[in-house]
Amino acid sequence: MKKKIYLDYAATTPIDPRVLKIMSPYFSEKFGNTMSLHSLGQEAKQALEKSRETIANLIAAKSDEIIFTSSATESNNLALKGIAFANQDKKNHIIISSIEHPCIMESAKWLETKGFEITRLPVDKYGLVDPENVEKAIKPETILVSVIHASNEIGTIQPIEKIGKICKKKKVYFHTDAAQSFGKIPLDVNKMKIDLLTTSSHKMYGPKGAACLFVRKEVKIEPILHGGSHEKGLRSSTINIPAIIGFAEACKISQKEMKTENERLTKLRDKLIKKILKTIPNSYLNGHSKKRLSNNANFWFEFVEGESIVIQLDLLGIAASTGSACSSAKLEPSHVLLAIGLKPQQAHGSLRLSLGRWTKEKEIDHLLEVLPKVIKKLREISPFKKN
Amino acid sequence: MKKPKNKKVICAMSGGVDSSVVATLLKKAGFDIVGIFMKFWTMSKKNDLIGERNKCCIPEAEDRAREVAKILNIPFYVFNFEKEFKKKVIDYFLTEYKVGKTPNPCVVCNKKIKFGLLLKKALTLGADFLATGHYARLQKRADGIHLLRGKDKKKDQSYFLWQLNQKQLKHILFPLGNYNKIQVRNLAKKFNLPVLDIPESMEVCFIKTTVNDFLAQYIKPKPGPILTIEGKKIGQHQGLPFYTIGQRKRIELSGGPFYVVAKNLKENTLIVTHFLNIKSLYKKSLIAQNVNWISNKEPKLPLKIKAQIRYGHRIVSATVTKKLKAENFELTFTKPQRAITPGQSVVFYQNQELLAGGIIAS
């Protein structure tokens, strides 16, 4: 069988071999528990703190502001629920955007059942939140604003710095879910006035099972996991050292290669977008043409189902996605695509192609050759097509 | 089976013995196979759909289907048909019961879901055929495709397939039609498929315990009087949807047994009798609604056939006497039949061939 082409880096990435190499001694030789007194434990603790420093560096934070978790979902749950419950004595209002990842959407929905008030900000047709709307939505009861940095589905990058400044001025906590952008776009929590920030390792060539939440020192937050007081009491659990070591190494590599990699991917992405819109009739770009992640392209095609495209591509050896990996098992149209104004039928015709470290130009060329044929064929037998 | 050249087949895989053997047989025959698992029903009550889980398409079944696909080294995908299944099958099922009928959901599922939605998707994916594990046979002849009973008389599922048309049949494969169940089990063993300890699924897939338990969740009981044929009130019923013509169970009255003779929806009364074989339970004829002729050609009437008025029931001699309005036909039995149940399917056979079917009118 021919080598598969992977164009679903936004769902997850393969681990970088350099990362894997660094991790391996931590499974069997340096396997200590960071809470142990003996030297094995101390060795682990040291490695943990070094990793913390590396990750803090990447976003200009202090290292004791980094809380390790198991996933971006956990980080986002901690951010929303932890802030909500720590501050509920005085305030009960939280603002999110309408294109957050399900773990924010669902956490907010759950908080609503616990008596919190949630405002979901609209976005424009590119998926952009208007900072003015943030300012208007903030009221005396507002505790927190949470806006995703870059959309996992359509790649739109939000004006985070402007929103951060507004939150700072209004004295409201500001959280951003940077799971997709961390390691791809420069982030500075001070310059951007971010109080909490979610990252993830497996979206940037690190292992699964590691993530972190940046929590600015003065932020009042409560844990959602209680136990042995790891991570300053904010996240009890035995520390997953190998994964965190790998996460930190992945950060180092990303920091070093970010600029050149971004330039390379932007070129590939733009070629992909331009050619698809040109060669496939009735195709449209979802999201913004410039303000988007360098590795994300998302389209909708008239008269076809995204699911059929994905399966057809898979049968041809190309891995792609209809939307986020989390929603592809559902039949519901993506809430992100509906929020940018697509009709359910249009949202069902969407395809996300996300590129990454090992994407080669000839792979993009191959896709550009195959996709128009696939769409054409699907349209010929499409049940939607009106003559 | 003829040796196929690059023919692509979508195989519906439920994780059970039958469909796993189908996939294996087709793969061995050289077809280009893609396995599909259909999810009918996993919504929780919270989502305002159905609370209980379908007992067939549970995660364990999905995992088994995936495992078989992996063993066969074929691509495998999961299609989520929850919404459509709820709309087309469950809603139909409930609506029919509410108006006093006893519907057959599998017939509708075959038409609208398996050989409706799934077939459409299969064709969209460029497949030539959709294959399932039904025990029925298809025969291509000069005048079209004929639908025959499965060779295994006990397992024969042609009864459930009467709503299919030529357009659909053209793209369907029933590879188990010439096997009996024991042979299929032996094949599964021979092929080393991890499906041997799975119990046979026979009943309606979304009914976990009994139909009445299921109905009780969705239909508000409307009790009313139980009357004898003579009009004497002898007790109270729990709501007409919970009773079926001819049944003896669940009439909890002393001095039984009692049998349901009729349901009077207007008066909300249940009419019962002491006598198993009372004359009024027998009817000489029925009207079949929405009749579908598999050949797509209406035969000359009157037509002598063998009729089956419910699944697993014996076949009896009858004559299709005349066409009424629309696609309704009148059927006259040689001997009167007991407990003809509105809502059930009546199908017409000649020898092995299923000619047509319809829904029994009230």
Place of tokens 């709309």: B87
pLDDT of residue A383: 56
Which chain B residues are Cβ-neighbours of A314 within 8 angstroms? 75, 77
Task: Report cis status (omega within 30 of 0) of the bond before B299.
Answer: no
Domain with CATH 3.90.1150.10 in chain A: 5-12+257-380
Residue B160 CA to residue B118 CA, distance in Å, equals 17
pLDDT of residue A387: 37
SS3 A118: strand
Question: Quick check: A100 contacting B, CB < 8 Å?
Answer: no
Q: Do residue B80 and residue A314 have CB atoms under 8 angstroms apart?
A: no
Count of beta carbons in the 10 Å neighbourhood of residue A299: 24
pLDDT of residue A326: 46
Q: Note the CATH number of domain A5-12+257-380.
A: 3.90.1150.10
Cite the active site residues of B. Answer: 109, 205
Q: Do residue A312 and residue B125 have CB atoms under 8 angstroms apart?
A: yes
Give domain limits for chain B.
8-190, 221-273, 282-360
pLDDT of residue A207: 98
Distance (Å) of CA B17 to CA A53, B138, B161, B198: 55, 21, 20, 7
Place of tokens 């098992």: A329
**Domain A17-253 architecture:** 3-Layer(aba) Sandwich (3.40)
- Write out residues in chain A with pLDDT < 70, as ranges: 1-2, 324-331, 382-387
Nearest to A331 among B34, B77, B83 (CB): B83
Asked whether the beta carbons of A284 and A299 are under 8 A apart, the reply is yes
Which tokens go with A283? 């195709």
Residue A317 per-residue DSSP state: T
pLDDT of residue A331: 63
CATH fold for domain B221-273? SH3 type barrels. (2.30.30)
Residue B61 CA to residue B46 CA, distance in Å, equals 24
H runs (alpha helix) in A152-233: 160-170
pLDDT of residue B42: 57
pLDDT of residue A305: 87
Q: Do residue A305 and residue B124 have CB atoms under 8 angstroms apart?
A: yes
pLDDT > 60? residue B200? yes
Residue B309 CA to residue B325 CA, distance in Å, equals 21
Question: Quick check: A37 contacting B, CB < 8 Å?
Answer: no
pLDDT > 70? residue B3? no
Lowest model confidence (mean pLDDT) among A233-247, B36-50, B156-170? B36-50
Residue A149 CA to residue A175 CA, distance in Å, equals 9
Q: Do residue A378 and residue B124 have CB atoms under 8 angstroms apart?
A: yes
Which chain A residues are Cβ-neighbours of B78 within 8 angstroms? 329
* CB proximity list for B187: less than 8 A, separation 6 or greater: B21, B24, B25, B179
Question: Quick check: A35 contacting B, CB < 8 Å?
Answer: no
pLDDT of residue B126: 86
Q: Do residue A312 and residue B121 have CB atoms under 8 angstroms apart?
A: no
Whole-number mean pLDDT of chain B?
89
pLDDT of residue A77: 98
Residue B101 CA to residue B104 CA, distance in Å, equals 10
pLDDT of residue A342: 94
Q: Give B54's pLDDT tier (boundaries 50, 70, 90).
A: low
pLDDT of residue B362: 78
Residue A365 CA to residue A380 CA, distance in Å, equals 24
Residue A288 Cα, gap to closest chain B Cα (Å)? 31
pLDDT of residue A128: 98
Per-residue model confidence as pLDDT tens digits over B207-254? 878 888 889 888 888 999 999 888 889 888 989 999 988 888 677 777
Q: Give B361's pLDDT tier (boundaries 50, 70, 90).
A: very high
Residue B345 CA to residue A96 CA, distance in Å, equals 53
Question: Quick check: A305 contacting B, CB < 8 Å?
Answer: yes
Residue A123 per-residue DSSP state: -
Q: In DSSP terms, which residues pair with B316 in a beta bridge?
A: B307
pLDDT > 90? residue B47? no
Residue A102 Cα, gap to closest chain B Cα (Å)? 16
A103-107, B43-47, B224-228, B255-259 — most confident range: A103-107
Which tokens go with B163? 């709503």
Q: Which 9-48 residues of chain B touch chain A by CB within 8 A?
A: 34
Question: Quick check: A383 contacting B, CB < 8 Å?
Answer: yes
- Chosen for mutation from A331, A332, A348 (greatest number of chain B CBs closer than 10 Å) is A331
Give the chain A residue whose CA is nearest to the CA of B38: A329
Give the chain B residue whose CA is nearest to the CA of A385: B124
Question: Quick check: A378 contacting B, CB < 8 Å?
Answer: yes
Better pLDDT: B5 or B3: B5
The three state secondary structure string of chain B is CCCCCCCEEEEECCCCHHHHHHHHHHHHCCCEEEEEEEECCCCCHHHCCCCCCCCCCCHHHHHHHHHHHHHHCCCEEEEECHHHHHHHHHHHHHHHHHCCCCCCHHHHHHHHHHHHHHHHHHHHCCCCEEECCCCEEEEEECCEEEEEECCCCCCCCHHHHCCCCHHHHCCEECCCCCCCHHHHHHHHHHCCCCCCCCCCCCCCCCCCCCHHHHHHHHCCCCCEEEEECCCCEEEEECCHHHCCCCCCCCCCCCCCCCEEEEEECCCCEEEEECCCCCHHHEEEEEEEEEEEECCCCCCCCCEEEEEECCCCCCCEEEEEEEECCCCCEEEEEEEEEECCCCCCEEEEEECCEEEEEEEECC
Domain with CATH 3.40.640.10 in chain A: 17-253
Q: Give B141's pLDDT tier (boundaries 50, 70, 90).
A: very high
pLDDT of residue B53: 54
Distance (Å) of CA A205 to CA A17, A173, A249, A250: 9, 30, 9, 6
Q: Give B26's pLDDT tier (boundaries 50, 70, 90).
A: very high
Residue A346 CA to residue B166 CA, distance in Å, equals 32
pLDDT of residue A382: 63
Q: Note the CATH number of domain B282-360.
A: 2.40.30.10
Q: Do residue B82 and residue A381 have CB atoms under 8 angstroms apart?
A: no
Residue A282 Cα, gap to closest chain B Cα (Å)? 19
Q: Give B11's pLDDT tier (boundaries 50, 70, 90).
A: very high
Residue A379 CA to residue A312 CA, distance in Å, equals 13
pLDDT of residue A229: 83
pLDDT of residue B55: 61
> What ipTM was assigned to the predicted interfaces of this complex?
0.75
pLDDT > 60? residue B262? yes
**Domain B8-190 architecture:** 3-Layer(aba) Sandwich (3.40)
Which amino acid is located at A204 in the chain?
Answer: M
pLDDT > 80? residue B255? no
H runs (alpha helix) in chain A: 17-23, 25-28, 39-58, 72-86, 102-113, 131-137, 160-170, 241-279, 306-315, 335-339, 344-348, 361-380
pLDDT > 80? residue B48? no
pLDDT > 60? residue B56? yes
Taking residues B289-318, report their average pLDDT: 94
Taking residues B116-125, report their average pLDDT: 90
Taking residues B299-311, report their average pLDDT: 95
Asked whether the beta carbons of B237 and B225 are under 8 A apart, the reply is yes
Better pLDDT: B4 or B146: B146
